[in-house]
Amino acid sequence: MKGIITEEQAYQKLSALCASAEHCSHEMAEKMRRWQMSEDAMARVMERLVSDKFVDDERYCRFFVRDKIRYNKWGRRKVEQALYMKRIPEDISARILDEVDPQIYIDILRPLLQAKRKSVKAGSDYELNGKLIRFALGRGFSIEEAKECLE
């Protein structure tokens, strides 16, 4: 099936997109699928984007991890799941997540829980801590990190 866009047009559009912000190979492939490009044309464009350093999943992962932890205040599990959804290879994502100092998660979670504590309605300290731990788990933090911040 003939695509609605040529390989050169796809390369131009995608390289311009990548020049303005980091994108992973999965996002580029999805765009080309929406443009109904053939698999071999997609492979050639992707190869060119990677060789010209417009797409680099490891670089993308590094920025993604940093931004989601720093700005979105996510824990490791939530970042892992998001990278899985972006189809970042596990060897890349695990290595980059392992580089993050575990203390950073604690430093992010502690003020989040202090702020949440003010808005949570609970009948007892036990119930309050349960709700705060569930909140932390929902943000992607481990139960150990939540307990450490609540002590």
pLDDT over threshold 60, residue 19: yes
Residue 151 pLDDT greater than 90, yes or no: no
Distances (CA, A) of 96 to 14, 68, 101, 125: 25, 13, 11, 37
Cα separation, 79 vs 98, whole angstroms:
12
pLDDT at 36 over 50: yes
The DSSP annotation for 74-126 comes to --HHHHHHHHHHTT--HHHHHHHHHTS-HHHHHHHHHHHHHHHHHH---SSHH
Q: Please, which residues have CB within 8 angstroms of residue 44's CB and are 6 or more apart in sequence?
A: 7
Query: Would you say residue 51 has pLDDT above 90?
Result: yes
Q: Quick one: pLDDT at residue 57?
A: 96
Q: What is the pTM of this model?
A: 0.88
Q: Please answer whether residues 24 and 86 qualify as being in contact, where contact means their C-beta atoms are separated by less than 8 angstroms.
A: yes
